[in-house]
Amino acid sequence: MTDSYTPASLRDVQTLPELFAWRVATSPDQTAYQHFDAARSEWRNLSWREVDVEVSRWRQALLAQRLEAGARVGILVPNGLEHVCMDQAALALGLVPVPMHALDNPDSIAYILHDSEAALLLVDSAERWRAIAAAGGATPALQRVIALDVGTEPGAALLVGLDAWLAAAGDGATAAESVPGQVSPDALAALVYTSGTTGRPKGVMLSHRNVVSNIQALLQRFVLTERDLLLSFLPLSHTFERTAGYYLPIAAGARVAWARSVALLAEDLLTVRPTVLVSVPRIYERIHARMLETMHGRGAIARALLEWTERIGWQRFRAAQRREAAPGWLEQLAWALLRPLVADRVLAAFGGRLRMAIAGGAPLGANIARFFLGMGLDLLQGYGMTESSPVVSANTPEDNDPASVGRPLPGVQVRIGEHDELLVAGPNVMQGYWKRPEDTRRVLEPDGWLHTGDQARITDGRLYIVGRIKDILVTSTGEKIPPADLEQAIESDPLFAQVLVVGEQRPFLAVLAVVDPAIWAREARALGLDPAAPDSLRSEAARRLALARIAAQVKAFPSYATPKAVLLTAEPWTIDAGLMTPTLKLKRPALTERFAADIAAIYEHR
């Protein structure tokens, strides 16, 4: 087994190594994971026993590094067996995983490695490591870099290939002998980096107790069994996926298939045919948009049938939740025809077996919820944040109000503080921010209450999120970005006199910017444009120039905070125009209203 102590039951589990050991002991020969074998062009299964054997190899190799307990281990690889093995091996040895987004930019990764003082890094390729090293300079604590693909070029300092690293440790001791002892429930289980108000990410310190308590609370709220199959595609650097899509299936014995990529997600859904899906709203938005486009392309009759199906299905859902009278006999008859004709075909995009879909990380649009609930899918919205491990509340199939984020999980307390701010307490609340005591004190009260920064109300035990106290943008993929920090960084380029970052509930960020007339005149002439021409700022050459200069200014931010579209204007935003306050702060609502059509056009054409 993977730990010197194996709990007798799930109730006895206190740490993540104990959780994994308990699962291996409970169902060793059942399928744990499915992955796509590119060499054979087929999906293959891994049992819990097979995963345990592989984790033991990694643990032995980690043990040979002689890292001190609590040392940080960076993990920068896609979801898959290698990520799981390094995570589980590190946890069993009392080390602290630092999961990072596999697509993040080198500057951001270099900062996290330096800030966390990571002693070891697992990376996908030697080429990636060279880019990180070039961006970040010295990382004194880093002792070893392990690459899945070392390439053919000469190896860089600290770098070793995965196969060589594992082979160097040999078979060594047995799994039980290689574990020095039990890990404390209060020891760190992860440093998960999330965006901070300074623009640099902050390391959220989550203990084993934090994460395990959240898993056990989720299992009291949701029915997840060994018959279930999840498709994992959100990055494991995302705490939502880490808890709900990785550790929770271990506790339940559910299978997990690792998606090949987001680009191939639609194909993987059809092949894997999951029964449970954990996702941010953006995925549901994309499928909804594709369905509408398909139906609308089939003509007026198809559109009418889709709308009729949604309307009757929504009434059926409301009746099942005891919020509306049941449909009449005519609607029931219509539903018997419309379900196989329309609803089942819509849900076939998920593979045809999906019984429960969970949305978190960002607010779910009311129109998206109504559509899929109307099609007969149990789409459940929840609420959480990295600092709460992450789930605070959630709806369930039997108790689902899509306008709310559900009821608090067992053991989680919520209350409303000043300015209607939601405060959260419970065993799932973080220990604090890594090396940031002042930031910790700002959000974590001495008695354990966490300030979420979200405004909320509690009605009949349900939690409703109504706004945010902090000026934070939340994209439709669930990433949280402080726009003021981005704007300040972009404005440090003299070309941009005024800057507004937009992207709330959008798939990416965009920038609206007023250019400095003198600098624009010079740059325009270099591009062969007439700076006085009204359309020069809307030209493709101007757009490319602006995006390149913006990217240069925000390179220290996470990759998801890099704007992908820009709208340039020569007219300054003024107090008289109602676009700035007397203290020269941007009036965001006024600006977004003024440029509403332009903003809509940006996202319609991307």
**Residues 301-350 pLDDT 10s:** 988 999 999 999 999 999 999 999 999 999 999 999 999 999 999 999 99
Fold of 482-604: GMP Synthetase; Chain A, domain 3 (3.30.300)
Minimum mean pLDDT among 201-215, 427-441, 522-536: which range? 522-536
Q: Is the pLDDT of residue 46 over 50?
A: yes
Per-residue confidence (pLDDT) for residue 120, from 0 to 100: 97
How far, in Å, are 7, 287, 373, 396, 555 from residue 221 at the CA level? 22, 27, 19, 7, 41
3-state SS, residue 503: coil
Task: Give the full edge-to-edge strand order of the sheet including 413-416.
Answer: 413-416, 421-425, 450-459, 462-468
Banded model confidence at residue 15, pLDDT cuts 50, 70, 90:
very high
DSSP secondary-structure letter at 67?
P
Average pLDDT score over residue span 162-187:
72
If you average pLDDT over residues 347-355, what whole number do you get?
Answer: 96
pLDDT higher than 80, residue 463: yes
Share of the chain above pLDDT 70, in %: 94
Identify any residues that bridge with 465 across adjacent strands, giving them in sequence order: 456
Residue 142 confidence (pLDDT) above 90: yes
The burial of 214, by beta-carbon neighbours within 10 Å (0-12 exposed, 13-18 middle, 19 or more buried), is given as buried
Domains 214-422+450-473 and 482-604 share a fold: no
Question: What are the strands of the beta sheet with 96-99, ordered from one edge?
Answer: 96-99, 72-76, 120-125, 144-149, 159-161
Kind of pairing, strands 462-468 and 450-459?
A: antiparallel
Give the mean pLDDT of the chain: 91
The domain 1-183 is placed in CATH, from the list 3.50.50.60, 3.40.50.10210, 3.40.50.300, 3.40.50.980, at 3.40.50.980
What CATH number is given for 214-422+450-473 in this structure? 3.40.50.12780
Main-chain phi, psi angles of 221, to 5 degrees: -95, -35
CA 442 – CA 465 distance, rounded (Å)? 21
pLDDT computed for residue 485 by the predictor: 79
CA 407/CA 405 separation, integer angstroms: 7
**Whole-number pLDDT of residue 584:** 60
**Whole-number pLDDT of residue 1:** 40
Per-residue pLDDT tens over the stretch 254-293: 999 999 998 899 999 999 999 999 998 878 888 887 887 7
Amino acid at the residue 419? H
Give residue 581's pLDDT. 61
Residue range 102-109: mean pLDDT, rounded? 84
Q: CA 521, 525, 531, 533: dihedral to nearest 10 degrees?
A: 180
- The angle that helices 81-92 and 48-64 make with each other, rounded to 10 degrees, is 60
Q: What is the pLDDT of residue 243?
A: 97
pLDDT over threshold 70, residue 140: yes
pLDDT at 93 over 60: yes
DSSP 8-state assignment for residue 173: S
pLDDT at 589: 85
In this predicted structure, what is the pLDDT of residue 4?
56
**Cβ atoms of residues 416 and 449 within 8 Å:** no
Q: Which residues are CB-contacts of 494 (< 8 A; sequence separation ≥ 6)?
A: 516, 519
Q: How far apart are CA 322 and CA 463, in angstroms?
A: 19
Mean pLDDT, range 483-502, rounded to an integer: 87
| pLDDT of 397 above 90 | yes
Extents of the domains making up the chain = 1-183, 214-422+450-473, 482-604
Question: What pLDDT score was predicted for residue 405?
Answer: 97
pLDDT of residue 528: 94
For 451, the 3-state DSSP assignment is strand
- Condensed to tens digits (0 to 9), the pLDDT of residues 367-395 reads 899 999 999 999 999 999 999 999 999 99
